[in-house]
């Protein structure tokens, strides 16, 4: 089997890299931190102009009509640069589910703006301590529409989004996924400070009325929509984490080759060499399991087990890579003027979002226990 990417896929990755090299370097990110921008709007627009945001969306909305792998290639570059652009939120959490389950009207209303880089979409999935599929937010039937009540935490780019996908209980153990307008009556948001410094919000829904045209799929198929969404979001985060780990590893390898102690590069010390070697193995495990999960999703194969394995490695191996990078950098590793701190923060948030290692090991155990001996 050939595990290499095609020439077209390599071109997608290279194009994303060129844009981010030009607009999301260390100096650019320092300037961003000092600004009031919620994300790199110029870079997000450049992604749209280059066709990278819509690369996996239907041609009917201006997209490229390609697969999930192509979007993951863009996200890998986002992770390699720790670039604050809402690609994962807007494309994976918002646009892809609408493209898969939405009506023609929903697609034409929301997706062309994403493709062009002018619209941000997202989803509100978190209601700690409940898992996303155990949403406590309710949707009560009201004529031809619904009334939503509940709170969602850590909505990525919620205050910047034109629409938010909200899972809610529709009664009798069923779920619905609703497209909520953040400007609608009864919707309020409060900005949150996230570990990675990416924009997040707390979303409160109080008597929010949505019409039948704002339901994604049907009132009975919400669980299927949500499972589809979470599986892709988790795999996409794992690929992003692979990029984060790779750059942190490279930065650390270069640092220990030039940092001297006792008139010798610390890379020549056995303990440092062993630590960086272990970090390399963990990085490869994160990368290989992430791409295995993305590939199974892209080809339509059952992917639950692969996604659980990938998220376990993102959580378990990823945190070891970044802790090793911090330790081998010594004092430089905790200097916020040095770019490594971004990678540590991103890795920590990716480790815990949509479940850490324990949650995914438990789910993997359920999958294995259900298989016939």
Residue 1 lies in a domain: no
Residues 360 and 231 reside in one and the same domain: yes
Say what the alpha-carbon torsion angle 80, 81, 82, 86 is, to the nearest 10 degrees. Answer: -100
Q: Do 340 and 327 reside in the same domain of the chain?
A: yes
Q: Do 128 and 212 lie in a common domain? A: yes
pLDDT values of the chain reduced to their tens digit, one per residue, 373 residues? 467 899 999 999 999 999 999 999 999 999 999 999 999 999 999 999 999 999 999 999 999 999 999 999 999 999 999 999 999 999 999 999 999 999 999 999 999 999 999 999 999 999 988 788 888 999 999 988 999 999 999 999 999 999 999 999 998 778 999 999 999 999 999 999 888 889 999 999 999 999 999 999 988 889 999 999 999 999 999 999 999 999 999 999 999 888 878 888 888 888 889 999 999 999 999 999 999 999 999 999 999 999 999 999 999 999 999 999 999 998 888 888 889 999 999 999 999 999 999 989 999 898 888 887 6
Asked whether residue 85 falls in the same domain as residue 110, the answer is yes
- Taking each helix axis from N to C end, the angle separating 304-329 and 340-352, rounded to the nearest 10 degrees, works out to 150
On whether residue 365 sits in a domain, the answer given is yes
pTM for this model (two decimals): 0.95
The reply to whether 321 and 335 lie within a common domain is yes
- Is residue 2 assigned to a domain? no
∠ at Cα 143 (139, 147), nearest 5°? 25
Tell me how many domains the chain contains. 3
Domain end point (choices 220, 255, 280)? 220
Report CA-CA distances (Å) from 37 to 8, 19, 27, 40.
33, 18, 15, 7
Contacts of 205 (CB under 8 A, 6+ apart): 137, 148, 149, 150, 151, 152, 166, 180, 186, 187
Q: Answer with the one of 119, 134, 169 that is the final residue of a domain.
A: 119
Q: Which of 51, 85, 119 is the last residue of a domain?
A: 119
Q: Which domain holds residue 137?
A: 123-220
Give the CATH number, domain containing residue 47. 1.10.540.10
Domain shared by 195 and 285, yes or no: no
Regarding whether 129 and 101 lie in a shared domain, the answer is: no
């Amino acid at each position: 089997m050939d595990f290499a990417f095609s020439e077209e896929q390599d071109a997608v990755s290279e194009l994303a890299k060129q844009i981010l090299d030009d607009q999301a370097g260390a100096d650019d990110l320092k300037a961003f931190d000092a600004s009031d921008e919620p994300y790199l709007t110029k870079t997000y627009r450049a992604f749209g102009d280059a066709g990278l945001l819509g690369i996996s969306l239907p041609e009917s909305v201006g997209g490229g009509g390609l697969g999930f792998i192509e979007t993951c290639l863009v996200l890998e570059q986002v992770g390699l640069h720790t670039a604050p652009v809402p690609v994962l939120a807007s494309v994976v959490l918002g646009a892809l589910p609408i493209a898969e389950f939405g009506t023609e009207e929903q697609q034409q209303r929301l997706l062309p703006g994403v493709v062009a880089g002018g619209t941000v979409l997202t989803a509100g999935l978190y209601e700690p301590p409940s898992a996303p599929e155990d949403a406590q937010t309710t949707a009560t039937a009201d004529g031809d529409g619904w009334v939503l009540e509940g709170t969602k935490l850590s909505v990525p780019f919620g205050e910047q989004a034109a629409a938010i996908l909200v899972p809610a209980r529709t009664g009798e153990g069923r779920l619905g996924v609703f497209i909520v307008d953040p400007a609608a009556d009864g919707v309020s948001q409060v900005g949150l400070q996230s570990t990675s410094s990416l924009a997040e919000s707390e979303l409160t829904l109080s008597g929010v009325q949505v019409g039948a045209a704002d339901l994604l799929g049907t009132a009975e198929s919400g669980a299927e929509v949500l499972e589809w969404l979470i599986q892709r979001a988790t795999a996409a985060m794992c690929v992003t984490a692979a990029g984060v780990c790779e750059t942190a590893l490279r930065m650390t390898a270069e640092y220990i080759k030039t940092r001297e102690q006792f008139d010798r590069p610390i890379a020549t010390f056995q303990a440092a060499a062993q630590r960086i070697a272990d970090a390399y193995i963990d990085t490869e495990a994160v990368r290989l399991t992430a791409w295995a999960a993305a590939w199974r999703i892209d080809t339509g194969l059952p992917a639950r087990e692969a996604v659980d394995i990938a998220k376990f490695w993102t959580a378990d191996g990823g945190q070891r890579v970044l802790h090793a990078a911090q330790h081998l950098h010594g004092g430089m590793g905790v200097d916020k003027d040095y770019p490594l701190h971004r990678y540590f923060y991103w890795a920590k948030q990716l480790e815990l979002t949509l479940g850490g290692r324990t949650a995914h090991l438990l789910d993997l155990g359920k999958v294995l226990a259900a298989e016939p001996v």
